[in-house]
Structure 1
Amino acid sequence: MLRKLLSAVEGELAFAVSLRRRLHTKPELGGVETATARLIAAALPVRARPLAGTTNLVATVGGDGPGVLVRAELDGIEVTENTEVPYASANGRMHACGHDVHCAALVALTRAAHRLSGELPGPLIAVFQASEERAPSGAGTVLADAGLAHAVRAAVGVHVHPGIPWGALGADAGTVNAATYGFEILVEGKAGHGAYPHTTDDPVLALAQVVVALHTVTGRRVDPVHPAVLSVCALQAGTGENVIPSTARALGTLRTMHTDDHARLREIVATTVERTAAAHGCVGTVRTTRDEPALVNDPPLTRAVRVIAEQAGVPLARPWRSCGGDDFARYGTRWPSLMAFVGLDGAPGFEPVPLHSPLFLPPEDAVGQVARAQALAYLAASGL
């Protein structure tokens, strides 16, 4: 079955690469991936079932009984692309996290599995999930679907990553991605003229001090051997050079690998914002924008994937962890799950840039690498 499925995937790659280009040209943001979903649905060999009121798609091929859910992500992000390929996006949005590659690869795997549907070890449930990058999480919608509740025996996903060598597969048991806490800070003060700051309570200055204070949190409030990171990534305040506004806002993310750290640091963030703002005569509050658990790979499933990867001649990467986050972590709260990673470091023509960079562009050969990894994960989970 391993040989047959990989051979069938190979026969679908030319089509999948063409599909990837079309997906890459017109990315859509989470929750509104209507054109993306239509394009994928048209490329599938079976009718895809939309989840009520969303752009999520579910397509099942092969067999009866509980199957293996294989997930890919539909959405892009708000990044202006700066690559020079003919199929680059020009709409201020970008597939800067490889989701176009993941979707095209899963289409290839689904088409290949459909050709072998009478021989498959169990159903392949292809889920093209909406809104991985934005709240509300598309994973939550998938988990709420009654039709999937008892149809799934395990869930797997594959993600490209520039921190892993090209050609290698990262598959490690335990926590591989951090718990993710997204937050919005609002600082409220008293507006006035920039020439008379003493008559105001300046929320811009207060927010600036809040940002500096927050960036000391993980370095001084967390055990140094516990991975944790906090980044404030967006600031908004004011309308003119001489007008002190009444409010200032910021958006940030907190990532932790240990459950105890996550709960405690969330409290510290709120306290830091409130007290630093108060020291400047302002009121500071924090609102949660998203909250995802850590992504934990199931040990038996991980072992099975590593064994089948070796059988297929796919080299395994050295043990690897990341403070990246993914709402795929929610699948692991219900089913045995695994997220594997396909390396991009050293790939032909790949610019060595991080995820979410305007220059991020996996090579077209990455579609095949991801499709083969998805196939290995599906077969491994089918044998549990």
Structure 2
Amino acid sequence: MASQNLQDLAGRWLRGIDASLPAAIELRHELHAAPDLSGKEDPTSRRVLNALGDHDFEVETVAGTGRLLRLGPAGESIGLRAELDALPLTEMTGSSFASTASNPPAMHACGHDVHLAGLFAVLQAAREVDLPLGLVGLLQPREEVGPTGAADVVAGNHLIDHQVRALIAAHVQPQVPAGHVSSDGGPVNAAVDEIEIVVSGRGGHGAYPHLAVDPVPALCRIILALQETARSTVNPLHAAVVSITQMQGAAAPNVIPGTAMAAGTIRVMDETDRALLHERLARTVTSIAEAHGCTGKYEIRRGEPALVNDQVLAGLTRTWLSDFGVPTSPFASCGSDDFATYGSQLPILMQFVGTGYPTEHSAAGPMLHDPSFLPGDHVVREVAVAMLSGWLGAASITPPST
């Protein structure tokens, strides 16, 4: 397919997206008002399918509550992914379409409702164009919790079965300027591992510490030492973060516990650094605990790998974004996303769609996973354009012959 043909396709497809925006925004409001938690997303999947109508899509159930939709010719295809699940939060936006879920609470505080609405607009508009390659829409469950939906999709070889040559996603991001999109190649999100540390001593009464072996001071020194681990182990030019976010000891203030526990995460962009930090964690926990007369144990639960965007796909996508008049800005963070898992099977591209929250005095505002986070409806179009640009970028790599 000649480049001019892709240009013509892009123009028609974009006009179709604009025509579908009222329905896409209506769907966004519906999804936001009735969110589903991870692993329980069947109603959300059905809402998207009902909005589309499935008479010209192939539809498969994937990863339990997810759906895979295919449109266009047989053979090679290009995939677009959006997430189905919400977070267990009580919404505090005051929106007219705020979440009605209360038992348990749930809220789309990570923008998944916007991603789904953007994907809907792209799929709806694709019905009116002559696609040179297949289009796969992946409605993926369980992005927020493990075992993740991405791992199940990869294990089921669903993308291989549909000859998906590349998979594209777009995620809203307040740290990217409003109206901009980040579409950079290379590592853009970190690998993440959960860690749990248990220090055991001998419990007793708070008035008689000399008759006990208190694990709390040992645990505190381990935590402080781990804060220095990234600095003293990893090249300072590499991103690496160790965060201890939970501590637990006795259930009463006058009791010395027999065990004390802490938990947190390790995040890195490089697999070599990941191995170094795991080894350093082991030595830190066991040696400091032993020095206090205690025993220290740890558990590492490996999570997603680093999210590494394909360089060629990213560059071609930025060209299409420029053609659509969308400015780009660089962005990477130590956040994580199970979209990284797809990189083990095929080229991937995660784009970050800027929502920004500038104020008179600060660029700060509600972040992702905040009960006050609520992107404007206009971001639905921006997500759709980012997804379309990624699809066109993938189609530009090795265009099929006509």
Residue of 10, 13, 37 corresponding to 1:2: 10
Distance 1:249 1:28, change over 3 A: farther
Query: 2:342 is matched by which residue type in structure 1?
Result: Y
Which residue identity does 1:39 align to in structure 2? R
- 2:28 aligns with one of 20, 45, 48: 20
1:243 lines up with 2:242 in the alignment: no
Q: Mapping of 1:313-352 within 5 angstroms?
A: 313-317=325-329, 319-346=330-357, 352=365
Q: Report deviation, 1:178.
A: 1.6
Q: Deviations over 1:275-302 (max 9, x none)?
A: 2233333332222333221111111111
> Structure 1 residue 148 and structure 2 residue 159: aligned?
yes
Change in Cα spacing, 1:41 to 1:280, as seen in structure 2 (3 Å) is farther
1:73 aligns with 83
- The count of residues paired between Structure 1 and Structure 2 equals 380
Aligned position for 1:132: 143
Are 1:299 and 2:311 counterparts? yes
1:110-129, aligned counterparts within 5 Å?
Answer: 110-116=123-129, 119-129=130-140
Distance 1:104 1:279 in 2: 56
Q: Which residue of 1 aligns with 2:94?
A: 84
Query: Is there any run of 5+ residues in structure 1 with no aligned partner, and where?
Result: none
Could you say which residue in structure 1 is the equivalent of 2:246? Answer: 234
Question: Whole-Å Cα distance in 2 between the matches of residues 26 and 196 of structure 1?
Answer: 54
Match of 1:179 in 2: 191
1:24 offset after TM fit, Å?
A: 2.4
Q: Could you tell me whether the CA contact under 8 Å between 1:347 and 1:363 is conserved in 2? A: no
| Deviation (angstroms), 1:56 | 1.9
SS in 2 for 1:82: coil
**Amino acid of the structure 1 residue aligned with 2:375:** P
Of the candidates 44, 47, 57, which is equivalent to residue 39 of structure 1? 47
* Structure 2: 5+ residue stretches without partners: 1-8, 398-402
What do the CA deviations read for 1:191-216 (whole angstroms, capped 9, x no partner)? 33333333333333333322222111
Q: Percent identity?
A: 42
Structure 2 SS opposite 1:304? helix
Task: Indicate conservation of the 8 Å contact 2:13/2:128, yes or no.
Answer: no
Distance 2:285 2:35 in 1: 35
Query: 1:200–1:85: structure 2 CA closer, same or farther, 3 Å change rule?
Result: farther
Partner amino acid, structure 2, of 1:309: L
TM-score, scaled relative to structure 1: 0.91
Deviation sequence 1:259-290 (CA, Å, 0-9, x none): 22111112112222222233333332222333
Matched, 1:210 2:218: no
Classify the secondary structure of the residue corresponding to 2:184. Answer: coil
Structure-2 change in CA distance of 1:273 and 1:162 (3 Å): same
1:141 shift after superposition: 0.6
| 1:96–1:213 distance in 2 versus 1, CA, 3 Å | farther
Instruction: Go from structure 1 to structure 2 and tell me whether the alpha carbon gap of 1:33 and 1:242 turns closer, same or farther (over 3 Å shift).
Output: farther
Distance 1:252 1:139 in 2: 23
Matched AA of 2:24: A
Q: Partner letter of residue 219 of structure 2? A: L
Q: Deviations over 1:49-74 (max 9, x none)?
A: 2126x212111112221111111112
Could you say which residue in structure 2 is the equivalent of 1:61? 71
| Alpha-carbon separation, structure 1, partners of 2:371 and 2:97 | 14
Instruction: Name the aligned partner's letter for residue 87 of structure 2.
Output: I
SS for the counterpart of 2:176 is strand
The 1:135/1:41 distance shift into structure 2, 3 A limit, reads same
SS at match of 1:18: helix
Seen in structure 2, the aligned counterparts of structure 1 residues 379 and 28 have a Cα distance that, compared at 3 Å, is same
The 8 Å contact of residues 135 and 290 in structure 1, kept in 2 or not, is answered as no
Say if 2:186 and 2:308, in contact at 8 Å, map to a contact too: yes
In the alignment, what sits opposite 2:6?
none
Partner of 1:199: 211
Mapped partners of 2:41, 2:216: distance in 1: 36
After superposition, the Cα gap between the structure-2 partners of 1:373 and 1:244, relative to the gap in structure 1 and judged at 3 Å, is: same
Separation (CA, whole Å) in 1 of partners of 2:213 and 2:44: 47
CA–CA distance in structure 2, aligned partners of residues 85 and 146 of structure 1: 40
Work out which of the two has the higher radius of gyration on C-alpha atoms and give 1 or 2: 2
- Say whether the 8 Å CA contact 1:136–1:290 is kept in structure 2: no
Instruction: Give 4+ residue runs of structure 1 displaced > 4 Å after superposition.
Output: none
Give the aligned residue type for 2:47: L
1:223 is paired with a residue whose SS is coil
Separation (CA, whole Å) in 2 of partners of 1:205 and 1:80:
36
Q: Distance in 2 between matches of 1:32 and 1:249?
A: 31
Answer with 35-44 or 366-375: which moved more.
35-44
Deviations 1:107-155 (A, max 9, x none): 2222221333xx0121111111122222112111111123432421111
Q: CA deviation at 1:167?
A: 0.9
Q: Output one character per residue of 1:326-370: Cα deviation in whole Å (capped at 9) or x when no partner.
A: 12112122111111111111479x972322223222122111111
More deviation in 186-195 or 3-12? 186-195
Match of 1:159 among 151, 157, 171: 171
